[in-house]
């Protein structure tokens, strides 16, 4: 398949977007999922980007059989309907790992919001920018450690 972006059919929790991005970028899928969680919690743009990628990016099966076509209105509508069906299916029978990630994200997000509401003077430095910068640094360190372990 080369180095082509697709939605993963094997490493998926909802639509396979994170699994496909991870394979395309050659990084761990957990890091991609964490970035979507961070962008959701701090800016709210994570779900929008995920939904757009879910609709626009071909699935792994379409790429492997070379059935990908240019997007037109009808194809876009069909992909949106497929996305809706996959979402309903995922909500009815959730992936155990998806529930675990969502639970962790909710706990961390709730703890962050709780700490911010305490208005403790010694935590006045804690804001969205500091949290985002810290998470980006942690992700970079994790990527470097993973890359050095592979060498």
Alpha helix ranges (H) inside 5-127:
17-25, 29-42, 46-56, 60-64, 73-92, 96-117
**pLDDT bracket for residue 1 (50, 70, 90):** very low
Greater model confidence, 32 or 82: 32
Q: What is the mean pLDDT of residues 7-29?
A: 83
Can you say whether the dihedral through the CA atoms of 71, 26, 49, 47 is positive or negative? positive
Pick the more confident residue, 79 or 47.
Answer: 47
Q: How far apart are CA 84 and CA 128, in angstroms?
A: 32
Long-range contacts of 2-10 (CB under 8 A, 24+ apart): 4/63, 5/57, 6/57, 6/58, 6/59, 6/60, 6/62, 6/63, 7/53, 7/54, 7/57, 7/58, 7/59, 7/60, 8/60, 9/59, 9/60, 9/61, 10/60
- For residue 147, which phi and psi values (nearest 5 degrees)? -70, -40
With a pLDDT cut of 70, the percent of the chain lying above it is 83
Exposed e or buried b for every residue in 28-42, given b needs 16+ CB within 10 A?
ebebbbbbbbbbbbb
Please, which residues have CB within 8 angstroms of residue 16's CB and are 6 or more apart in sequence? 7, 8, 9, 59, 60
pTM above 0.85, yes or no: no
């Amino acid at each position: 398949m080369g180095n082509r972006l697709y939605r993963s059919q094997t490493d998926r929790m909802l639509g396979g977007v994170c699994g496909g991005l991870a394979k395309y970028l050659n990084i761990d899928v957990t890091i991609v999922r964490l970035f979507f969680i961070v962008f959701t919690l701090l800016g709210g743009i994570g779900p929008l980007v995920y939904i757009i990628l879910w609709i626009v990016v071909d699935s792994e099966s379409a790429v492997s059989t070379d059935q990908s076509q240019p997007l037109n209105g009808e194809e876009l509508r069909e992909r949106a309907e497929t996305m809706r069906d996959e979402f309903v299916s995922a909500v009815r029978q959730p992936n155990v790992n998806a529930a675990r990630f969502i639970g962790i994200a909710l706990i961390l997000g709730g703890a962050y919001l709780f700490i911010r509401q305490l208005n403790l003077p010694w935590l006045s430095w804690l804001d969205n920018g500091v949290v985002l910068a810290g998470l980006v640094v942690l992700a970079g360190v994790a990527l470097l450690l993973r890359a050095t372990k592979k060498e």
